[in-house]
Structure 1
Amino acid sequence: MTEDKIELQLEPGSENAETYEMGDAQEVNELRRDLRPSHVFMFSIACSIGTGLVIGSGQALARGGPGSALLGYVTIGSVVFSVMTALGEMAAFLPMNKGFGGYATRMVDPALGFATGWNYFFKYIIAAPTNLTAAGLVIEYWRPDLNVAIWIAVFGVIVVTVNLFNVRVFGEVEFWAGGIKVCIMIILILTCFIVAVGGGPNHHASGFGYWNSPGAFAEYLLTGPKGRLLGWWACMRQACFAFTGTEVVGMTFGEMPDPRKNVPRAVKQTFWRIFSFYILGILVLGMALPYDSSDLLSATNSSTNADASPFVVAIRNAGIKVLPDFTNASLLVFTLSAASSDIYCASRSLYGLARDRQAPAILSKTVGKGIPIFATSISAAFIALGFMNASKSSSSVFDDLVSLVTVFAALNWLAILVSHIGFRRGLARQNIAVSELPYVGFLQPYASYYALTVTTRNLSANEDQGYNAFIPHFKIDIFILSYLGILLFILNIFGWKFWKRTKRVRGSTMDLMTGRREY
């Protein structure tokens, strides 16, 4: 292998050219492309199946009914797929290892890139203790006498350790976790379907009977058409949380071999994951369980364990008694896998910010086989947020963190969509034909405009938390949780813009060449 070197400017106006070694394209302080395609495939599944689907779907069913829940999941599913196709176009054409903020910096404005990178970091440092709290609550199913904080510490050490190994170790762990999640979801969905067609011990074939009585659309907060509309909005908000993490596979693109081939493959698989797990899952759940079931209403107010899963409620009501312990053990895999990927994504967000000189340069330092050690350490430190459970109700802390994570996630989607619209504008201004793209997303760029409209509406109303802050009376704590993320995002944009005097990237001068190299 030759040791010839070339100088390559990563960004226009960069002061320091970075040196690459021909042959392995490995740079000092560069992430390693050690993730295998199979790792990326399972990682994308592991991130897209979490407690929001297995547990939170019950809240959607209870508040909106089966019709609103299905409509909400289909709507947000189409948004997420549009986000992924938008990201896939950019990542296949210009592979980057700076996270999503790197595209915002390059396609729109460095100020948006700064806000996006830090928003992703905020999202995942909150998501990590959220999932570790959920893991602790799962253990409470068997050991209610032990404080959740104990398990947050134990599991926190485990997930951080996984992230300190070579990224291939992380990929292998997520590969097996993803496989387990797939098996669990297939079992739950098939069992609920069998129950709905009368195959359970009680032999009650509900079919679509619950869509007629108590009905397909439930009322929430208000009565009449307005109540049913609020019920649908509540389902939309819960669907946002359920789909949170689907786009996380994009964080692996910087450590993926042959991104021009594997990125489109990863994006296309997103459609089948959304349809197979989310749409079919919420459909069979609405068939197997009425939304006004007292057991379901009790479950949605329960702790985060198997008792709170609407799938378990439906299966138990059918007379099957052996599933709760199995599901609870499975949820432990769900939550720990999610917490591990949260640390991974937070550290890569910090790394990308440092590479764009929007965070201290030391955060871009890597050791061993491309581990961003300082970025990972700082990300891991925020696990301590979970110890708030030691002095406050665990379920209350979990709900608060979920509200923040949902807002940050919607802002992430918004940033990707705006970046893609800027990217398409640059292609048009520089007369680069769409046919030159390694991957062209379905219905793009129209899909990005559609998804941007829906996401903006969700953020402005912020689903049930947003209007729940005002109905029936103003509640300051819910208001802060609903809009704090939006306020931080806006302040970061304008703060960085005024401090650095950044300018909007014009389509005619957009850098669409740097990084267009074959791997």
Structure 2
Amino acid sequence: MSTNFDEKENQDGCLSKLESNKVGEVITEDQLHRDFKPRHVMMFSIACSIGTGLVIGSGSALTAGGPGSLFLAYALVGIAVFFVMTSIGEMAAYLPMSKGFSGYGTRMVDPAFGFATGWNYFFKYLIAAPTNLTAAGLVVQYWRPDLNVAIWIAVFGIAVVSVNVLPVKNFGETEFWLGMIKVVVMFTVIIVCLVIALGGGPNHYRSGFSYWDPNAFKEYLVNGDKGRLLGWWACMCQACFAYTGTEVVGMTFGETPNPRKNIPKAVKQTFWRIGSFYVIGVLVLGMAVPSDDPRLLGATEASTSAAASPFVVAIRNAGISVLPDIINASLLVFTISAASSDIYCASRTLYSLAKDGQAPRIFAKTLDSGIPAWSVVASAVFIGLGFLNASKSTSVVFTYLVSLVTIFAVLNWVAILVSYLHFRRAVKAQSVPLNTMPYIGALQPYGAWYALFVSLLVIVFNGYDSFVHSFSATTFVLKYLGTALFVTNIGWWKLYRRTSYLKPKEVDLITVDITAQD
């Protein structure tokens, strides 16, 4: 099959018109505009992966497993996430699609698998938005504990929805500068923690690796080796939440000019991002603050404000009095930016599902600016989940939402990896030379198998704590609800649409629905 396109570029080098007269995606109306600039994509891929999971959630993991378990878990999950990203990069470079991850699931595996993947991704970001807005409200309580968190959920919710109805180039510019703030803050706190560990703080205490002995691998929930194993596993599960959002760059496919060039470029930055922000970050954190610090233990159990951040605890212990307020203000930027990108991802996923006939067609409608307005509105409605705080403790609701987000996120990784492995099988079966592919990920496809193994382990055993001491039905449901929904969606769509599993030689590796510019 061949595809003929009529292209016209505007002065930004972005595709302004794309029409197909035979096969592929027909772009006439109700289409996303390719107005993301390369620097927007680069920063979006970096900024979306830096959030409360790293800056705050790492504290709970440190107290549960100790610095050794924390470092090992972040390194192992980080390697898995890197292979998830290179899997996206290979598929996007060879067959760029505007339908995101669900499109690859449909095209490489089975339409039912694509359906389940798209809705899982949508569910994930529906939950992530109120999670981050709840965190934003808790951050403000650092200064104003007298005001209810629900007030800030409403205020910040209106703000992030407003940003999402801007033309995508304006949205990209906003996220670019918010992302720059995130990067600067993370580099700052990592350097400060390193200086503190080397004795450069006001207290001049050189801790080095002294906090690793004897608590590098702590016991958790039970005593002995089993307790140390559970401590490490608690760090593994928390690391998955911390890395959530790393794959978000895949949602920009439909609004990125020259995706064959720019998406792999953004993906390649993942290795350095994981190494610098995550692995080095938790390494210096374990050097700068003890895992049994009373401030750390009290803060992580109570809230998600700056008081809960292990980086802030390290700074306070060193006798630095100015930085906590600055870090807290930065955390507010982190959470609001994350909530904004959550609405973006949810709306684009719903739009893609509607374009594929897997959601009501109204959600495929766009404004003249290319914004899928109805999808944005539908995604914004679920911000109301944050108001559950009115009847439950804010920290309890936050924990519930985090549990749901984590399992949805790991299921997303599984869907990407399964689609990629089927893609590689199809490439081999159809005798496509690897040297003709625009981008080949390092150590692939073996890395994808490793990442799939780690992801499946987390999915199966993430609910371990619901069985320790006494069975917790609430914890069990929260930890396995996402998996049940994913499997159910595959099953009922297969029955409803009578879809067929695609054999390697049946996979379409020819039709192109986005023109890649050289």
> TM above 0.5, one fold?
yes
Partner residue in 1 for 2:201: 200
**Compared CA separation, residues 19 and 314, structure 1 to 2 (3 A):** closer
- Contact 2:62–2:286 (CA under 8 A) maintained in structure 1: yes
Q: Does 1:507 align with 2:508?
A: no
- Contact 2:18–2:26 (CA under 8 A) maintained in structure 1: no
Shift of 1:8: 3.6
* Identical columns (%): 63
Amino acid at match of 1:341: S
Partner residue in 2 for 1:184: 185
Partner residue in 2 for 1:24: none
CA distance in 2, matches of 1:155, 1:482: 28
**Compared CA separation, residues 5 and 195, structure 1 to 2 (3 A):** closer
* Residue among 490, 497, 502 paired with 1:493: 490
Partner residue in 1 for 2:176: 175
Q: Does 1:36 align with 2:33?
A: no
Post-superposition CA distance 1:59-104 (Å, at most 9, x none): 1111111111000000000010000000000011111111211100
Partner residue in 2 for 1:518: 516
Shift of 1:302: 2.2
CA distance in 2, matches of 1:458, 1:9: 40
- The 5-angstrom pairing of residues 256-267 of structure 1 reads 256-267=256-267
Partner residue in 2 for 1:392: 392
**Compared CA separation, residues 484 and 4, structure 1 to 2 (3 A):** closer
Task: Give the count of matched residue pairs.
Answer: 502
Partner residue in 2 for 1:77: 78
Partner residue in 2 for 1:274: 274
Partner residue in 1 for 2:453: 453
| Structure 2 unmatched ranges of 5 or more | 1-6, 9-16
CA distance in 1, matches of 2:369, 2:433: 38
Shift of 1:391: 2.0
- Contact 2:128–2:342 (CA under 8 A) maintained in structure 1: yes
Partner residue in 1 for 2:61: 60
Partner residue in 1 for 2:4: none
> What SS does the aligned partner of 2:236 have?
helix
| Structure 1 unmatched ranges of 5 or more | 11-17, 21-26
Shift of 1:284: 0.2
Shift of 1:45: 1.4
Partner residue in 1 for 2:144: 143
Structure 1 vs Structure 2 CA RMSD: 1.3
Post-superposition CA distance 1:400-425 (Å, at most 9, x none): 00000000000000000000001001
Amino acid at match of 2:373: I
Partner residue in 2 for 1:330: 330
TM-score between the two structures when normalised by the length of structure 1: 0.95
> What SS does the aligned partner of 1:508 have?
helix
Partner residue in 1 for 2:216: 216
Post-superposition CA distance 1:433-471 (Å, at most 9, x none): 111111101111111111001100110001xxx111011
Partner residue in 2 for 1:405: 405
CA distance in 2, matches of 1:468, 1:8: 54
- The 5-angstrom pairing of residues 52-451 of structure 1 reads 52-212=53-213, 214-451=214-451
> What SS does the aligned partner of 1:265 have?
helix
- Contact 2:289–2:314 (CA under 8 A) maintained in structure 1: yes
Post-superposition CA distance 1:160-219 (Å, at most 9, x none): 01100111111001100110001111110011100000001111101011112x321000
Post-superposition CA distance 1:308-342 (Å, at most 9, x none): 00001011011111111111110100000000000
* Residue among 13, 23, 27 paired with 1:9: 23
CA distance in 1, matches of 2:274, 2:22: 39
Amino acid at match of 1:479: F
Partner residue in 1 for 2:11: none
Amino acid at match of 1:413: W
Partner residue in 1 for 2:14: none
Partner residue in 2 for 1:476: 473
CA distance in 2, matches of 1:4, 1:216: 56
Shift of 1:240: 0.3
> What SS does the aligned partner of 2:440 have?
coil
Shift of 1:5: 5.3
Shift of 1:6: 3.6
TM-score between the two structures when normalised by the length of structure 2: 0.95
